Structure 1
């Protein structure tokens, strides 16, 4: 993973409290295990759900960290992700970071416009000629749309992992780009980095980060 150099204190505090809560639950579970009249399974299921919630919160936190040094348009991206997720419009947004994408992708249609939520939503609206493929973002600009990304060659174990997710994994295996994905089937949002996928459970939480 990348070196982390950011501070979004409210989110950090939320994650810390969540971890402390789980640690307390685990300690309590040890005591239950020593009591033959109590069953631990229900408590472990509760801990599992709490852990998943912390994972989602951490994904949101680190997404902010990874993007903050490379674009000032996080709010616009967040608004567009919320819209696309709500309407289940599939999307693939590549934020170029330190490594150039030149030579890694099949170039699409040049756009050359300032990034805005309206423009992102328009590009990925079903039926728009540019909605297939990926949008490339450099800094605060949408450079191009309808770009084709390389698909991952790794054996993907997740069920029903579509072309967008495989493309996001593929390009992030080859460079340090960060890719935002909206699933057309479920509306769920995730991001890919370093050849791994990280789900975001509540895209509305992206709007509540103090910048």
Structure 2
């Protein structure tokens, strides 16, 4: 599930991006309205998280132009403007939902998933699978065959990021940010230790964690060929 985060506060954008990636989303970011409109036109995501206070073209202008061009990307407005009048303006401009800052990350995730359900039906909440391995989107639990797969938090975060794109290489740099968010004291090579431990737990179970030198890691069913 691809999200476009439109937020001009760099620190908040970084924190939100890391938090959402840990929850299984693929997040792109831009910091101004004109750039956001261009991306929504040419590479529309599954949903957009849009701040209203942006340099140049503000969020309301982005919404007006987006809907005038009949671009139907679901938009969740994130803003410090909490007054009822501002919420009404955002919804009338074409927003699908509205969340005032500060907000709870669990509520943000729930609202994003609700937007996706409304757009795609229940398909958005179907389990992600790779061979015998399945991830329940609602609970975040992994099941391997008929058994629950219990993992430490870092291995869980790594596997969640990999199963979001089964059969595709995910760069080590991106995985490091997901597994070790805001932990600048951790050495980059630590991601290899987490991957090694996870690989051992998946061995012989019908799904493999593959190292692709120079590209990153890839999760695939043992019956699937390498790309």
User: Do the two structures share a fold, i.e. TM-score over 0.5?
Assistant: no
TM band (smaller chain): under 0.3
Larger relative contact order (C-alpha < 8 A, sep ≥ 6)? 1
TM-score for the superposition, normalised by structure 1: 0.24
